[in-house]
Structure 1
Amino acid sequence: MYASLPIDNLKSDFLAALSQQHIVVEAETGSGKSTRLPLWAAELGRVLVVEPRRVACTSLADYLTTKTANPQQISVGYAIRFEQHFNADTQVVFATPGVALRWLSDDQLALFDTVIIDEFHERRWDTDLLLALLKQRQSHRLVATSATMDSERLVEYLAATHLYATGRNFKVDVYHQANDTQTMPSDDHLDQRIVKLISQHYADHQDILVFLPGRKEITAATQALSRYFAAAIAADEMDVIPLHASVTDDERQRALTASNKQRIILATNVAETSLTIPGVTLIVDSGLERRTHQRNGRTVLSLHAISKASAEQRKGRAGRVKDGVCLRLYGKAAPLERLTPAELQREELVEPYLAALCCEAKFSQLAFIDPLPEKTLASAFQTLQTMKAVTDDEVVTDYGRRLYQLPIDSLFAHLITAMPERRHQEAMVDLAAALSIPQKLWQPPKSEQDQQALFLWLGQQYCDATALIKIVRADVVPEWLTVDDNMRAEARLLAAKMREVLQLPQLEAASAFRRQPWIDAVITAVPELVYVRRERRRQALGNGFNEVTLSRDTLFGIEHDQATEAAIVFDQFALPGKGIKQNLVLATCIAPVTLSQMVALDLGENQQGQTVETSKGHFQTAIKRVYAGRVIDTQWQDVSGGAAGTAIVDLILANEVLTGLATRIVTDIQQWNLYLGLGRYQADICQRKPEIVDAAMWLLQQIEDLGIETIDDIALFSADDFVFDGIPEWEREEFDNQYPHSVNLNDFEMRIEYQISRKTVIAHYLQGNRKQDPKRWELPRWQGWRIKYKKASRTIDIH
């Protein structure tokens, strides 16, 4: 018989409730919920256990194949992306949420009777969605488990039975390492602080577990600890082990298997739940994690203080075999959130939206524990409509289903399926694989020598996208390239699986492709991926909707041709900026594009520019192609036909022909529009209809009425031939005195603007040497109006 665990007291209640309704099991860390509940539920049929993390999924399944944990030898297997170890007779299958959602879309999880969603408190979007879909269907027995959660709301949401089990058998003493009780977690000198703490306490403990926010901090701390304990490591007495989503199988086994050596395990949140790391009696908690959140309409990734629930989870990793200690690098009264916010509340919703549609559910009508943010929901629907993945009445299209079959971001799936030729589709598959792995695949070279070698290796070009494709495809990469071998292996595996799904040749038989036609196909499929450089801020690029800044790790900018002005931005990384509403969006994978390529693909809009005289009586107009506020091409056209009228108007308004006409007509029309706005119009005395007039449009109509067809024709007319019949002549002088369009004092001149809705007059400085602001007594009466004076960017009230 296996050893007793705290949760064993719930078995009879659990089985009795499971046959009747859904269950919420709230159990403390170390209670045994992740290993006992699946085996109990198997007595009532096949069980799917949904584990949020791959490491936990495989480790729990492996543990339950042992006779110690599973004396009855109930068959147990697992399924993670690209890896399955179970068959039709397996009674308990552990799977990640993404795999479970795809099975749900395929056959409604028909093989399973009970679905257990473990560690629900992590509130990932895929577990929230899975629970909402299964709740709507009422086709399976549901069990939601966690060590800490907002359990009452979940019980009400599922109309479930609530079971509770205590956890740890041993006490854990908590000590806060902060000068002030309200000190929040910080990453300042984090590796140094960890080395100092561990050096003070390691002698009293066997194994030590350190919680850090990400791979960057784990790497820094691993290096610092390895230097400090170099002698113990060399003597094979100590092991410093990283533990995150991208570690090797060897590192994972070393972290999860008991050892005679003292171990220091540096982990992300992956070690917070489900995983049992034997021998740990000391926890060092940085109090930090990396997570996404919505900021100014974008999903950004940044450091956050953990929630109180996570702090309890981390503390619970000690005290599993004997009394433990938890050292927290923040104050006892630090104002942490109670629970970690759900991902559906803090991320973009394109992926969950498409997943729900492919599971035959309308995402906007699903009942979630927390209502979805309306703006984010609308944005996701619009994005899917643009991709033609969903109809107006929220039904997934055949194209949308094809996108969902690819285990990558919806944008990359769209780009892959939109490629017109097989060789271009292969290139997009390999690039998408390189950009869909959890960590960076490579580090671009910094030395000029290695950059030149890379330039030649890439076929005499600098392109992040081409480099990634070549790295994924290469049998062996050059030694001078800094490549993460583990990530390259994962990217190659992902590329191989997608090639299999799409019936494309495998990597060893990858089709050669020509870069420019491929880039053209990408631009045609998703034109908004094209960004142009800002003319002054050369590190910034824009596409008319967003702005990105060049990452330090992009090849764009070190090219030999510094005139490269545009690029496709395949991958972005958003960080919170300095201001409350600012985001710093880094462009991390860039493919250079020429401006002529953009023009050839009809990007941007034509705008008519200035008209110039090229010879006596002969004029040309500049037709400018504008993209994201920048001119990317200029063509000169002879002025004729309809363009002649517009060109003549431009010349009149620029005071280059019919000198003085523009000033008079613009003033007359401005005063007429003001006259109307003030309600002075009288139908019996005004010759014109009471309509607001645009000066340029009025001049264009006059030119047509006078039969002016070419620039040469304008010489036949004078300014006196253009008369605007607005305010009645007998009333105009009185109106101008009361509401002047300009004010001239003896030392400077002002243009007057009237904002009727605000009852405000704004006097704009035009010219003059006077430095002092105008006085109220110097200006017209404007009784009942608020008066402002504006010079440059400065605006003041005049009282």
Structure 2
Amino acid sequence: MSTDGLPIERLRPDFERALTNGHVVVTAATGSGKSTRLPVWSRARGRVLVIEPRRLAATSLARFVAQGLGSTVGDGVGYAVRLDARHGPDTEVVFVTPGIALRWYGEDRLRRFSTVVLDEFHERRWDTDLLLALLQAGRGHHLVVTSATIAGEQLAQHLGAHHLRSDGRSYPVDIAHRADEPRRMPESRDIARRVAEAVRDALGNGDGGDVLVFLPGKGEIQACYQALKGAPATVVRLHASAPAADQADALAPRDPARPPRVILSTNVAETSLTVPGVTTVIDSGLERRTHRRNGRTVLSLHAISRASADQRAGRAGRVQPGRCLRLWGRQAPLAELTPPEIHREDLSELVLAAACAGRRADNLPFPEALPEPALVQATARLTRLGALDAEGRVTERGRRLFHLPVDTELAHLAVAMPDRESAGFMADLAAALSTGRRWVHAPADPAEEEMLSRTLPRRCDATLLVAALRTADLPGVRVDRASRKEARKLAAQLRELMGLARLPDTLGEDLEPAFAAAVAALPHRTYIRREKRRQAMGNGGDEILVSEQSRLDAEAEAALCLDEHSVPGKGTRQTVTLGTCLAPVPLQGLLDAGLGEPMLEAPTLEEGRLLARRTWRYAGRIIHSEAVVPEGAPAREAMARLILDNRLLKPAGARLQEDLAAWALYVALGHGEGETPEARPWLEARLEALGVASQDDLALIEPEDLAFEGVPEWERARFDEHFPRQIQLPDLLLRVHYHVRRKTVTIEKVSGSRKKDPQRWELPAWPGWRVKYQRASRVVEVR
């Protein structure tokens, strides 16, 4: 490996001395060589594990370092990423992604390494933050933490580490802003046209070098790729799921004989990867990242931070003086740094990973404290899934979920299935959902949709995804082949880990048992349509909107939502959640899963027979209703309602309500002590105490048996005379309300033809009390 001119080389003696004594934090600018040289130097102490935030960076750096050492990948230098591993027990330097490192930590495989390098720590992913906290808490490793932008001195103090600094190898970069307003922020509006114009200007006025364009995601990259057709350059796409040929082309050395390259990249090229030959950077100023909003993780477009903008601009000055064209205003108020993921994402995966490592997340030394609401929410979610016990310790189920390389909830779904065929379907669905959004596109043409419906009669996003994963050709369906290949590899891995049969090439099994089990396993993921807003669905707590791309049948009343996408709505607090993978569920399926809340309604007597309707409601909608002859507790509930409506055992209901009102006032006035029960629960309990279980038992009950013993009998008449609840005057019936704290009486007109207001002399004495008369909305003082 040629090391000529690498700025990091000047740090080697200091680095080796510091690493011998403990942890090291290295702040090094882009182009310094930190990602390639520090792991090689660390070999002197034993095997080295290098943790890279992205798969593409891990594999590319492993190949580069192996080539420089004259080794083959998998021998002296190797890597391990999801679905791909090339290393052995004697490999000296192994590059891995954080997910692999966390699994190895839980399996006690990290003890095979003497030094662990956390590269590009400034990205502040939750998994690298957790790894730092776990390794700091101690297994004897020496840590090397590298970053280009983080406050290294502060991190070194947190770790008790030695702090080293290195400049980068860079040339001056001329920065120009293309927005017409100085404070205009980065924006996505018309981004493909604006990028294409900037690229053509750069090619026409450039130095023949390559152009690197930073874009927020795969969709914007594809739009710009189309807009640049016909440009005098080779246009290359660089993102995690880009074709392998494009990735290799982007990272290959510059060929002077070829036209200049235009590399359309996500922020994967911001730090870890070096794209050779770049002399011009065009920066959209955007990235797609998560944040917390109303207790949910929302993915949306954000303006990058100033630190990220500086990192991106530096890519233009690696080989010669360069320039950076920024598509926003010179004075745009960008944030200084990007907030860490632990402050903007759901913490379920972090909490489970920590538990599988034998630690509670809230007891680990993170650089900043975990946000308490997100921590509580994550712990409750994992406990509900059976992954944690009541003390927050990982269960056997939790370990099993953690070792499946998909989201915890999807893993839970797969292992909750009642049979191997259903488990295979859900494992394949988990793989399809884990590969990335929107890699399967249903036909937009009605004729093609009709053909697809004959092949897949079940209008279901989950069924379409699994069918597309298993079957190469579906009528009218467009599939991203690279994503499908990755999904199939992941499905095969899941099936192997779960001991299931190999991936089939047809959609043969009966899906009803799988979806019925899914509703039982994830009841909070089951939604029912709103009665008036049919595009909206609720589950009693959250609401989703059916995505326009969903195949869910318009007649389906309920659905299981297995993937969703939350975006900011109107205002500062609204969040809109789109259901992107919906599977129809019959209303009976909700009932079978116990989701409906039973209620007894409309009790009645028909020809002396006690009848009622029992309804089950879910998220505000009736999902089932049936006429019943109630018995037991439902019978007592129905009887209590009829008694209080004076339709049964008259006058027990009216007298009970009068007795309770008198007792409440008696206690409020300080004449007695005790609680005032609600009429219906008290009546139901009284009927139960009397042994009433059916209508036939009422023959043994008299109205007097249902009397409430409140105000003492010997005092009741005098109390009612002084504090009546109802007053009858000539042509005027009044209801009396006592406000004891304010010592105010309000007499309310109930009925009567009298026009004149009541006079004070017509009413009880009520010494010391103010008296008011209310007639409709009119309230006057009675004097």
Task: Output the TM-score relative to the length of structure 1.
Answer: 0.86
**Do the aligned partners of 1:674 and 1:754 also contact (CA within 8 Å) in 2?**
no
Aligned ranges for residues 288-367 of structure 1 at < 5 Å? 288-367=286-365
**Do the aligned partners of 2:77 and 2:93 also contact (CA within 8 Å) in 1?**
yes
Aligned ranges for residues 655-674 of structure 1 at < 5 Å? 656=647, 665-666=656-657, 669-670=660-661, 672-674=663-665
Which residue does 2:717 correspond to in 1?
729
Amino acid across the alignment from 2:222: T
Aligned pair partner of 1:436 in 434, 437, 452: 434
Which residue does 1:568 correspond to in 2?
560
Q: Compare 485-494 and 702-711 and name the one that shifted more.
A: 702-711
1:634 aligns with 2:586: no
Cα separation, 2, equivalents of 1:786 and 1:57: 82
Superposition deviation, residue 369 in structure 1: 0.4
Superposition deviation, residue 613 in structure 1: 3.7
Assess, with a 3 A threshold, how the Cα gap between structure 1 residues 599 and 197 changes in structure 2: closer, same or farther.
Answer: same
Assess, with a 3 A threshold, how the Cα gap between structure 1 residues 721 and 584 changes in structure 2: closer, same or farther.
Answer: same
Which residue does 1:682 correspond to in 2?
671
Gaps of 5+ in 2: 754-762
Cα separation, 2, equivalents of 1:605 and 1:364: 36
SS in 2 for 1:505: coil
Assess, with a 3 A threshold, how the Cα gap between structure 1 residues 383 and 699 changes in structure 2: closer, same or farther.
Answer: closer
Cα separation, 1, equivalents of 2:776 and 2:433: 51
Cα separation, 2, equivalents of 1:790 and 1:134: 75
Q: Compare 185-194 and 425-434 and name the one that shifted more.
A: 185-194
Task: Output the TM-score relative to the length of structure 2.
Answer: 0.88
SS in 2 for 1:470: helix
Superposition deviation, residue 752 in structure 1: 6.1
Amino acid across the alignment from 1:515: L
Amino acid across the alignment from 1:222: Y
Cα separation, 2, equivalents of 1:99 and 1:138: 17
Aligned ranges for residues 198-209 of structure 1 at < 5 Å? 198-205=199-206, 206-209=209-212
Which residue does 1:240 correspond to in 2?
235
Which residue does 1:212 correspond to in 2?
215
Which residue does 1:16 correspond to in 2?
17
**Do the aligned partners of 1:669 and 1:693 also contact (CA within 8 Å) in 2?**
yes
SS in 2 for 1:507: coil
Aligned pair partner of 2:274 in 269, 273, 276: 276
**Do the aligned partners of 1:426 and 1:504 also contact (CA within 8 Å) in 2?**
yes
**Do the aligned partners of 2:736 and 2:748 also contact (CA within 8 Å) in 1?**
yes
Aligned pair partner of 2:550 in 528, 551, 554: 554
Cα separation, 2, equivalents of 1:342 and 1:627: 38
Cα separation, 2, equivalents of 1:641 and 1:797: 50
**Deviations, residues 702-736 of structure 1 (Å, cap 9, x unaligned):** 76799988769989999999766656332335435
Cα separation, 2, equivalents of 1:165 and 1:721: 90
Aligned pair partner of 1:263 in 261, 264, 269: 261
Which residue does 2:756 correspond to in 1?
none
**Deviations, residues 562-619 of structure 1 (Å, cap 9, x unaligned):** 2x211211112222222433221111111111112222333323211111344x2123
**Do the aligned partners of 2:291 and 2:299 also contact (CA within 8 Å) in 1?**
yes
**Do the aligned partners of 1:574 and 1:585 also contact (CA within 8 Å) in 2?**
yes
Aligned ranges for residues 580-729 of structure 1 at < 5 Å? 580-614=572-606, 616-640=607-631, 643-654=634-645, 656=647, 665-666=656-657, 669-670=660-661, 672-676=663-667, 678=668, 680-683=669-672, 690-700=674-684, 728-729=716-717
Which residue does 2:227 correspond to in 1?
224
**Do the aligned partners of 2:655 and 2:707 also contact (CA within 8 Å) in 1?**
no
SS in 2 for 1:450: helix
Cα separation, 2, equivalents of 1:31 and 1:69: 21
Superposition deviation, residue 271 in structure 1: 0.9
Cα separation, 1, equivalents of 2:39 and 2:246: 27
**Deviations, residues 281-339 of structure 1 (Å, cap 9, x unaligned):** 11121211111111111111111111121111111111111111112222333322222
SS in 2 for 1:420: coil
Aligned ranges for residues 508-527 of structure 1 at < 5 Å? 508=504, 512-527=508-523
Cα separation, 1, equivalents of 2:358 and 2:406: 20
Aligned pair partner of 1:486 in 482, 490, 496: 482
Assess, with a 3 A threshold, how the Cα gap between structure 1 residues 382 and 762 changes in structure 2: closer, same or farther.
Answer: farther
Cα separation, 1, equivalents of 2:34 and 2:295: 39
Assess, with a 3 A threshold, how the Cα gap between structure 1 residues 87 and 721 changes in structure 2: closer, same or farther.
Answer: closer
**Deviations, residues 193-242 of structure 1 (Å, cap 9, x unaligned):** 2223233332232211111111122222222222xxx1x4xxxx411222
**Do the aligned partners of 1:669 and 1:695 also contact (CA within 8 Å) in 2?**
yes
Assess, with a 3 A threshold, how the Cα gap between structure 1 residues 449 and 363 changes in structure 2: closer, same or farther.
Answer: same
Assess, with a 3 A threshold, how the Cα gap between structure 1 residues 709 and 419 changes in structure 2: closer, same or farther.
Answer: closer
**Do the aligned partners of 1:673 and 1:693 also contact (CA within 8 Å) in 2?**
no
Superposition deviation, residue 783 in structure 1: 9.4
**Do the aligned partners of 2:727 and 2:733 also contact (CA within 8 Å) in 1?**
no
Assess, with a 3 A threshold, how the Cα gap between structure 1 residues 768 and 420 changes in structure 2: closer, same or farther.
Answer: farther
1:160 aligns with 2:149: no
Identity %: 42
1:55 aligns with 2:56: yes
**Deviations, residues 130-149 of structure 1 (Å, cap 9, x unaligned):** 11111111421211111111
Amino acid across the alignment from 1:735: F
Superposition deviation, residue 157 in structure 1: 1.3
**Deviations, residues 537-564 of structure 1 (Å, cap 9, x unaligned):** 2222222232222111211134xxx2x2
Superposition deviation, residue 349 in structure 1: 1.4
SS in 2 for 1:164: strand
Assess, with a 3 A threshold, how the Cα gap between structure 1 residues 309 and 706 changes in structure 2: closer, same or farther.
Answer: closer
**Deviations, residues 236-295 of structure 1 (Å, cap 9, x unaligned):** x41122211110111111222224212221211111012111221111212111111111
SS in 1 for 2:90: coil
Which residue does 2:758 correspond to in 1?
none
Assess, with a 3 A threshold, how the Cα gap between structure 1 residues 566 and 8 changes in structure 2: closer, same or farther.
Answer: same
**Deviations, residues 598-650 of structure 1 (Å, cap 9, x unaligned):** 22333323211111344x21231111122223221112112455544432322
**Do the aligned partners of 1:439 and 1:487 also contact (CA within 8 Å) in 2?**
no
Cα separation, 2, equivalents of 1:547 and 1:767: 46
**Do the aligned partners of 2:595 and 2:618 also contact (CA within 8 Å) in 1?**
yes
Assess, with a 3 A threshold, how the Cα gap between structure 1 residues 652 and 22 changes in structure 2: closer, same or farther.
Answer: same
Which residue does 1:772 correspond to in 2?
none
**Do the aligned partners of 1:743 and 1:752 also contact (CA within 8 Å) in 2?**
no
Assess, with a 3 A threshold, how the Cα gap between structure 1 residues 723 and 422 changes in structure 2: closer, same or farther.
Answer: closer
Cα separation, 1, equivalents of 2:214 and 2:751: 66
**Do the aligned partners of 2:183 and 2:329 also contact (CA within 8 Å) in 1?**
yes
Superposition deviation, residue 341 in structure 1: 1.3
The number of equivalent residue pairs is 760
Superposition deviation, residue 127 in structure 1: 0.9
**Deviations, residues 101-129 of structure 1 (Å, cap 9, x unaligned):** 22222234133221111100001111111
Q: Compare 689-698 and 342-351 and name the one that shifted more.
A: 689-698
**Do the aligned partners of 1:554 and 1:588 also contact (CA within 8 Å) in 2?**
yes
Aligned ranges for residues 743-762 of structure 1 at < 5 Å? none
**Once superposed, what is the RMSD of the aligned Cα atoms?**
3.8
Cα separation, 2, equivalents of 1:723 and 1:60: 84
Superposition deviation, residue 690 in structure 1: 2.9
Cα separation, 1, equivalents of 2:193 and 2:551: 33
Assess, with a 3 A threshold, how the Cα gap between structure 1 residues 668 and 582 changes in structure 2: closer, same or farther.
Answer: farther
**Do the aligned partners of 1:671 and 1:741 also contact (CA within 8 Å) in 2?**
no
Which residue does 2:189 correspond to in 1?
188
Cα separation, 1, equivalents of 2:394 and 2:773: 56
Cα separation, 1, equivalents of 2:591 and 2:204: 69
Cα separation, 1, equivalents of 2:184 and 2:313: 18
Superposition deviation, residue 346 in structure 1: 1.4
Assess, with a 3 A threshold, how the Cα gap between structure 1 residues 30 and 789 changes in structure 2: closer, same or farther.
Answer: farther
Assess, with a 3 A threshold, how the Cα gap between structure 1 residues 271 and 796 changes in structure 2: closer, same or farther.
Answer: farther
**Do the aligned partners of 1:403 and 1:410 also contact (CA within 8 Å) in 2?**
yes
